[in-house]
Structure 1
């Protein structure tokens, strides 16, 4: 329980560092916070290989979801060196979020509709908070177009991530010894 709570709080701290830094034009707060958080999660992970696979998949999803959003002109990110590509602070957020999928967000694995619903409804709220509270994201009018685009992207991406988290966690535990004496 304590590890799960620390996992959730750590991820939220990474989000805060990322959007607050990006709103001021800085990349390093997100990169530093994310690197420290990911290292701490990998250090204590029961299945670090699964966590790394999820991290790489999350980065690919970030390139697709946020790259399409930026490329469409509907969403603009602060501290973005290239307008068409997701900035490093967004990639850091996705990488950190991947560390929650087998811990504080593992409940999403229980029902196949949960990831799609969470992605569609809650991910846009995080972007809206980053926009209104920190000026880290900007939406072309009408804003709901960009929010819907992100929601659909996150719905698909989160379903993919959670499905693979479930599959990779199961496959890596099937081959391990149960601890019985022989």
Structure 2
């Protein structure tokens, strides 16, 4: 699915959120690798489950052609600084829902990029036959959990001791969902 570009200006930063294009693939491969090394809030450590340029081109093509997927990027001065994806399911019993994921370079935290990805994703989902958006978030990412709750997500469950982080401790994953009736 495609989204028309939307301009934002927050705290002296101008950025655009738009649908990913196939020529973004190389950039996306590089920034995903960087983001994975900047935070433990994501599932991957730097270099794990690496997606190269060809892999991103395939994802972008599939997401653009599917009514149940959306792949958004945030661009600042021609540079991609974050992205979000919603991936749907073709199985009839799960056709009504999508799974949301987001990541933003650490230097660009605090500019509402993640919030605006979420808002545009919700707007897109609400304008389609999608009824439910799901996501998972690390229990220590309290800021993200609060953001999701503010946009109608509820906690649906906890995966106990789901992630082993660099401090050697296990952490829970919070499963959240937003249902649009």
Larger helix percent: 1
Larger Rg over CA atoms: 1
Q: What TM-score do the two structures reach when normalised by structure 1?
A: 0.31
Q: What TM-score do the two structures reach when normalised by structure 2?
A: 0.31
Larger strand percent: 2
